[in-house]
Amino acid sequence: MILADYFMKEALKEAEKAFEEGEVPVGAVIVSGNTIIAKAHNQVEILTDPTAHAEMLAITSATNYLGAKYLEDCTLYVTLEPCPMCASALNLAKIGKIVYAAEDEKNGFMRYGTKMLHPKTKIDFGLMNTESISLMQNFFRDKR
Q: Which residues are part of the catalytic machinery?
A: 55
Q: Are 101 and 80 in contact (CB under 8 A)?
A: yes
Q: What is the DSSP letter of 78?
A: E
Distance CA 38, CA 14 (A): 11
Q: Are 116 and 141 in contact (CB under 8 A)?
A: no
Q: Mapping DSSP to helix (H, G, I), strand (E, B) and coil, where does residue 3 land?
A: helix
| Residue 25 CB contacts under 8 Å (≥ 6 apart), including other chains | 15, 16, 18, 19, 41, 42, 79, 135, 136, 139
